[in-house]
Structure 1
Amino acid sequence: MQNCERTRQEKEKRQSLLRRQEANGGDFFKVQKNKREIERLESKLMVYCQAIETTSTEIVRLREAELFPQLLDLVNGFLFQFWETAA
């Protein structure tokens, strides 16, 4: 997440620089270099977002497939023991 946020900030900084360069008629080669850098940062952000999405999906899968059934077994066992003791 930290890498993602740093990359996002760097991209915003580069975009701001690009707007200034274009508004002031900056050097063509510097403008092109900055555009390539922005594209590179956008690609990195896409990779980070995909990694986050994959991780989130796996967490949900684990929760649904493994943790939730274990929780149900635990609660059912506790309730059974509670009612057995109360009766």
Structure 2
Amino acid sequence: MANTPQSKKRARQAEKRYAVNKARRSRIRTHLRKVEEAIASGDQTAAQAALQAAQPEIMRGVTKGVYHKNTASRKVSRLSARVKALATA
């Protein structure tokens, strides 16, 4: 348990950051799920629109420190490849 005033404050701040990051991660996962569902349905225009909405949200997670840059880039790259494959299929 935190004893000093400084450690008590840091514990409060960590709790707030945890809540913010948790909400942001959840929002990103929701966007990712919408893209996955659109890909599964086979609707290329819906998948493209969902990806367009998800991409800035994922990258915002990078700038806010929720995801690593390479992780976000990998996710976006793989999703866009799958959406692009819908056009040929």
* TM-score tier after normalising by the smaller chain length: 0.3 to 0.5
Which one has more relative contact order, counting CA pairs under 8 Å at least 6 apart?
1
Structure with the higher helix share, 1 or 2: 1
Alignment TM-score, normalising by the size of structure 2: 0.45
Alignment TM-score, normalising by the size of structure 1: 0.46
